[in-house]
Amino acid sequence: MSHLQAVSTSLQPQSHSYTQLTTYFDPHSQVAWGYMHAEPRPCFTPTVLRELLAWGDSMVGMIDDPNQPDVKYFVLASNVPDTFSLGGDLSLFMQHIVARDRDALYRYALSCIDCSYAVHSHLNRPGVTSIALVQGQALGGGFESALAANVLIAERGAKMGLPEILFNLFPGMGAMTFLGRRIGHQKAEKLILSGKLYLAEELYEMGVVDVLAEPGAGEATVSDYVRREEKSRNGILALRSAREISQPVSYDELVRITEIWVDAALRLEARDLRMMERLVSRQTGKAGVAAAAVPSVAFSA
């Protein structure tokens, strides 16, 4: 059964001409679903970033319009088999790095930050909860985007990690901010520097993943979570508001870290770019995605 087939038949397609994002809205449970399917690789292409931001704007429009059904939850997911997201558009990174085009690289990075901040801040609407549903691999920026969500749900067997250190970089679009607030900054740095992939089960034990789902039951688990939250919604949202006061995440923090990332990316040497290029080639096609799942293989000489 595909991801989309697993979703309730009550979902209504949202009327937007997206090309790399499929959106649905369930008026009964007031849940909006967004399924990424970027091309040519399931990563954060400029197109999917624009469409995610447009989707966020459309949900804000629904929330603020008293004549529209309200959105109480939105779910970031993927309908690419075995892949949530492979992260940043490494091919685009290399183009900008080789061209020494700092402005273009910075603009792309800001687009990623804009998406992550919208997810983490639940569209700046206190009554909305953002959920990331990870089915399959979430690498680099894909993992960062999942970490940005208020609730991270992952199927058992899903693999997540931050391999950037393996090509002499670091994940600069929210990993330190979001991971550090989940498990502490010392543990976050250790995880980042490992360059390893972790099973959802391991990350659940660390406190990174909030809810584990059985394989193939991700959407059903999201629905179960929504039903549970509804029973204690007032208390849960109040607690989240208190956490956001005691552990605030500012847009400025994300931007300043991203500026460090951009400058570090421009210092990469030819050998680092060759390693990045090999990962891009392995991300292209089903066989490549499978190879990229094991960093020790994907980055071998």
Mean pLDDT, range 184-193, rounded to an integer: 97
Contacts of 21 (CB under 8 A, 6+ apart): 34, 35, 36, 37, 48, 51, 52, 55
DSSP reduced 3-state for 56: helix
Mean pLDDT, range 204-223, rounded to an integer: 98
What does the pLDDT read at residue 17?
A: 85
pTM of the predicted structure, to 2 decimals: 0.89
pLDDT band at residue 295 using 50, 70 and 90 as cut-offs: very low
Please say if the pLDDT value at position 183 is more than 90. Answer: yes
Mean pLDDT, range 103-117, rounded to an integer: 97
CA distance readout (Å), 55 to 16, 20, 36, 235? 8, 12, 11, 28
User: Rounded mean pLDDT of the chain?
Assistant: 90
Q: Are 46 and 115 in contact (CB under 8 A)?
A: no
Helix axes 90-98, 102-120, angle to 10 degrees: 150
Helix axes 46-64, 102-120, angle to 10 degrees: 40
Give the strand pairing for 137-139 and 31-36: unpaired
Mean pLDDT, range 14-24, rounded to an integer: 85
| From 51, 144, 155, 219, active-site residue | 144
- Tell me the backbone φ, ψ of residue 139, rounded to 5 degrees: -115, 145
Both tokens of 92, joined, read 């685009």
| From 39, 51, 155, 164, active-site residue | 164
Looking at the chain, the whole-number percentage of residues with pLDDT higher than 90 is 85
Domain ranges of the chain: 3-220+234-290
* Domain 3-220+234-290 of CATH type 3.90.226.10: yes
In the residue annotation, 144 being an active-site residue is answered as yes
Which of the two residues, 157 and 2, has the higher pLDDT score?
Answer: 157
Residues in the chain: 301
Count helices and strands in the chain by DSSP H and E runs: 14, 11
What does the pLDDT read at residue 287?
A: 33
- CA torsion 151→245→112→144, rounded to 10°? -40
Strand partners, 152: 132
In the residue annotation, 164 being an active-site residue is answered as yes
- The per-residue pLDDT for range 232-269, each reduced to its tens digit, is 999 999 999 999 999 999 999 999 999 999 999 999 99
Both tokens of 24, joined, read 């649905």
- The per-residue pLDDT for range 32-86, each reduced to its tens digit, is 999 999 999 999 999 999 999 999 999 999 999 999 999 999 999 999 999 999 9
